[in-house]
């Protein structure tokens, strides 16, 4: 254990950002690898250079990238944890090879374009399989080597700090922790291999000259002027300093409401989705354009679902329910009926997995989230948006407002058909689940952007295609 004035080994202060950006690096690496492997395979087969103006190579690359996305090949947690990454890539590419072979056979395009020959596309896919596996294994080995060098200074050792430390060790299991508690009596239940030192906040001067991956301020106490100056000097050396809400926002893309304070909310950046703001007006225009396109696209599906519901069980095709909307104003949300008639004759209940009230057709409608499609009408009427927090029932709102701090902040924006909470935490059937979902809703409200909406749209497509809905 080194103290100020001794020789210090270099520490990667940007490890969290590197892990966060791994999906982008994998994505760009896969694009380069696909084009390189395709060009090599085409040259070996025809002894000609690839025509970069031909749209077919780009279609091939798009299919492979879409397959990788559906296979969760860009999830940094899965890659870092090494959860059967090579097997995942191989199985995914085998499925893509079968799909491409079927498309080539059915379309007959191979007679017109040599790029579409199976003797070109399949070998290029085989070479790319090796490329993708090696890329991820090398990246994981490098990240783990950096994780072994990471050192975190945590100021405070309360309950919230302990919860954070356990989550941090899941994200970065090889990191070393130095914790400065508020009192000498505090203890921490952490693996000895991770906890390098447990001291008191009065020890901060001795540690302020050390190199750290980041400083986590996990206490609500007011620092003295001397301590504030020491933290300022640390920050000016390029070492990030996070309060707990900022750390959760940066590492896990959520904002637990129990950690928030009025002062933090008042001075935080973001929260741009306010009435009259340009972002909200632009979001409304995009909603109308996309919802009209979606309506034209799914119209045949709506008719088919209506017929299946009618044949499956007695009762109406559509189901309406009172929900809390913008600023808590109640409105009726419309859905395809997925439960038996009179399913709530005993009153409002949380939905649950394997809910006996759900019909056979309703199970699949919920799994694929098709039961939400009639809410297109709510979007057209301006009661909802395509993307936003899911509207809750007024009966549950009363309990949730009492149990969860800052719960009403979610109604500062219009509710949505899908949202950040739905794609990040897909199941919710209790107050604890509602708390977790709110943490993601708060992140969305604070960090809203068109890019975030686009990410939610892609994640929703993946959830629907893989049947991970409810």
- Please report which confidence band the pLDDT of residue 80 belongs to, taking 50, 70 and 90 as the band edges: very low
| pLDDT, tens digit (0-9, with 9 covering 90-100), for 246-264 | 999 988 899 999 898 888 8
Nearest to 417 by CA among 453, 451, 449, 448: 453
Q: Within a domain: residue 258?
A: no
What letters, b where the CB count within 10 A reaches 16 and e where it falls short, cover 122-142? Answer: bbbbebbbebbbebbeebbee
Average pLDDT over residues 217-225: 84
The helix (run of H) or strand (run of E) holding residue 463 is helix 450-465
**One domain for residues 369 and 393:** yes
CA torsion sign for 164, 168, 173, 179 is: negative
437 and 358 in one domain? yes
Nearest 5 degrees, angle CA 37-CA 38-CA 41? 85
> What values do phi and psi take at 354, rounded to 5?
55, 40
**Domain that residue 330 falls in:** 278-465
Element (H, E) at 319: strand 318-324
155 and 142 together in one domain: no
**The total number of residues written for the chain in this structure:** 470
Q: Are residues 140 and 158 in the same domain?
A: no
The pTM score is: 0.81
Quick one: pLDDT at residue 445?
92
Within 10 angstroms of residue 85's Cβ, the number of other Cβ atoms is 19
Report whether 288 contacts 294 (CB < 8 A). no
Q: Taking the CA atoms of the chain, what radius of gyration do you get in angstroms? A: 26
Inside any domain, residue 353: yes
99 in a structural domain: yes
141 against 111, higher pLDDT: 141
Of the candidate ranges 28-37, 200-209, 293-302, 434-443, the one whose mean pLDDT is the lowest: 200-209
The separation between the first and the last C-alpha atoms of the chain, rounded to the nearest angstrom, is 50
Instruction: Output the pLDDT for position 291.
Output: 93
Q: Are residue 455 and residue 308 in the same domain, yes or no?
A: yes
CATH of the domain at 231: 3.40.50.720
Question: Same domain for 195 and 134?
Answer: no
The last residue of one of the domains, among 96, 117, 147, is 147
Looking at the fold, whether 320 and 455 belong to one and the same domain comes out as yes
Instruction: Clarify whether residues 334 and 375 are in a common domain.
Output: yes
| pLDDT for position 124 | 92
287 and 305 share one domain: yes
- Say if residue 70 is in the same domain as residue 182: no
Cβ atoms of 195 and 188 within 8 Å: the answer is yes
pLDDT at 1: 36
Q: Is position 314 within any domain? A: yes
The percent of residues in the chain predicted with pLDDT above 90, rounded, is 28
């Amino acid at each position: 254990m080194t103290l100020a004035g001794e020789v210090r080994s270099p520490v990667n202060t940007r490890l969290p950002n590197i892990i966060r950006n791994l999906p982008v690096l994998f994505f760009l690496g896969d694009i380069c690898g696909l084009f390189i492997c395709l060009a090599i395979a085409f040259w070996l087969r025809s002894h000609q250079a690839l025509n970069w103006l031909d749209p077919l190579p780009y279609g091939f690359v798009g299919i492979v990238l879409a397959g990788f996305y559906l296979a969760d090949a860009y999830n940094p947690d899965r890659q870092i944890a090494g959860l059967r990454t090579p097997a995942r890539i191989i199985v995914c590419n085998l499925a893509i090879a079968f799909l491409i072979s079927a498309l080539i056979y059915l379309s007959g395009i191979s007679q017109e374009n040599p790029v579409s020959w199976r003797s070109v596309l399949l070998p290029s896919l085989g070479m790319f399989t090796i490329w993708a596996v090696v890329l991820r294994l090398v990246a994981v080995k490098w990240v783990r080597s950096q994780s072994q060098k990471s050192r975190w200074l945590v100021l405070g050792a309360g309950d919230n700090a302990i919860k954070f430390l356990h989550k941090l060790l899941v994200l970065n299991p090889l990191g070393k922790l130095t914790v400065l508690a508020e009192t000498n009596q505090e203890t921490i239940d952490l693996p000895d291999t991770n906890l390098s030192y447990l001291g008191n906040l009065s020890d901060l001067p001795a540690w302020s000259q050390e190199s750290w991956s980041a400083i986590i301020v996990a206490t609500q106490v007011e620092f003295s002027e001397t301590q504030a100056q020491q933290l300022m000097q640390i920050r000016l050396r390029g070492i990030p300093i996070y309060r707990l809400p900022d750390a959760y926002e940066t590492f896990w893309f959520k904002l637990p409401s129990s950690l928030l304070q009025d002062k933090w909310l008042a001075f935080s950046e973001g929260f741009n989705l306010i009435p009259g703001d340009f972002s909200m007006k632009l979001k409304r225009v995009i909603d109308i354009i996309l919802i009209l396109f979606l309506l034209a696209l799914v119209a045949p599906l709506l008719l088919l679902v209506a017929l299946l519901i009618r044949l499956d069980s007695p009762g109406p095709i559509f189901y309406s329910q009172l929900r809390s909307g913008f600023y808590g104003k109640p409105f009726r949300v419309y859905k395809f009926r997925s439960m038996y008639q009179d399913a709530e004759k005993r009153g409002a209940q949380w939905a649950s997995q394997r809910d006996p009230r759900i019909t056979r057709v309703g199970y699949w409608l919920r799994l694929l989230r098709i039961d939400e499609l009639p809410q297109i009408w709510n979007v057209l009427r301006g009661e909802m948006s395509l993307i936003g927090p899911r509207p809750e029932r007024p009966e549950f709102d009363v309990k949730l407002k009492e149990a969860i701090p800052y719960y009403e902040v979610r109604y500062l924006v219009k509710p949505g058909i899908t949202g950040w909470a739905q794609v990040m935490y897909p199941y919710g059937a209790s107050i604890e689940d509602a708390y977790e979902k709110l943490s993601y809703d708060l992140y969305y409200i604070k960090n809203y952007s068109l890019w975030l909406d686009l990410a939610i749209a892609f994640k929703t497509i993946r959830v629907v295609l893989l049947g991970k809905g409810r």
